[in-house]
Chains A and B, each alone.
Chain A
Amino acid sequence: QKEVEQNSGPLSVPEGAIASLNCTYSDRVSQSFFWYRQYSGKSPELIMSIYSNGDKEDGRFTAQLNKASQYVSLLIRDSQPSDSATYLCAVNSEKLTFGTGTRLTIIP
């Protein structure tokens, strides 16, 4: 079983809609959770961090964490073409482990 799992996509969402990206993890003692955005040919950029159950909002981005279900998600409201990228979920237990990423395409 992979430690951090994401659907590889591609996930296509119309411009202006909500994009929902999901991530599950296997280590129950994980404490910190991160979302990175990676444009094609570029390096990953940290966009959200979440440490406790519930929602955390930052502009158009909302991270949701449910430790009981070992599930973390990222919602992007009012999706823009510039949001088209690969989104990486990263989970910390003893070390930071990355998922394989979900490729998101926003359709104008």
Chain B
Amino acid sequence: ETGVTQTPRHLVMGMTNKKSLKCEQHLGHNAMYWYKQSAKKPLELMFVYSLEERVENNSVPSRFSPECPNSSHLFLHLHTLQPEDSALYLCASSQGRGYEQFFGPGTRLTVL
């Protein structure tokens, strides 16, 4: 595997389900990010991790819970989501904060 990978690529879940999104970067980077992109809307930065420490949380509801066990892996745990949470969830990594970011292919999430 090269670059940034994300699984699953597509996810359909009910509002009472619990699921997790996974991101892995193979670039030796120190920073990882979660973004949300709703249809025809700009990127919304959700969380930033630098050296496995959360450094930014942009007023994201608590039904989204990030986890960064090491510098290569990032998770986004989902529970009791709402239909308006349906979106493309993108993971990115960079050498450090402020450097160019490289994106994974995204997870297309649909909440029923």
Contact = CB atoms under 8 A, between A and B. Distances in A.
Interface of A: 31-32, 34, 41-46, 49, 88, 90, 92-96, 98-101
Contacts of A88: 43
26 contacts: A31-B98, A32-B98, A32-B99, A41-B88, A42-B105, A42-B106, A43-B88, A43-B90, A43-B103, A43-B106, A44-B90, A45-B103, A46-B100, A90-B100, A90-B101, A92-B98, A92-B99, A94-B97, A95-B56, A95-B97, A95-B98, A96-B94, A96-B97, A96-B98, A99-B42, A101-B42
Contacts, number: 46
B104 to A, nearest CB: 6
Interface size class of B (residues with CB under 8 A): 10 to 19
A96 B99 contact: yes
Contacts of A99: 42
Contacts of B103: 43-45
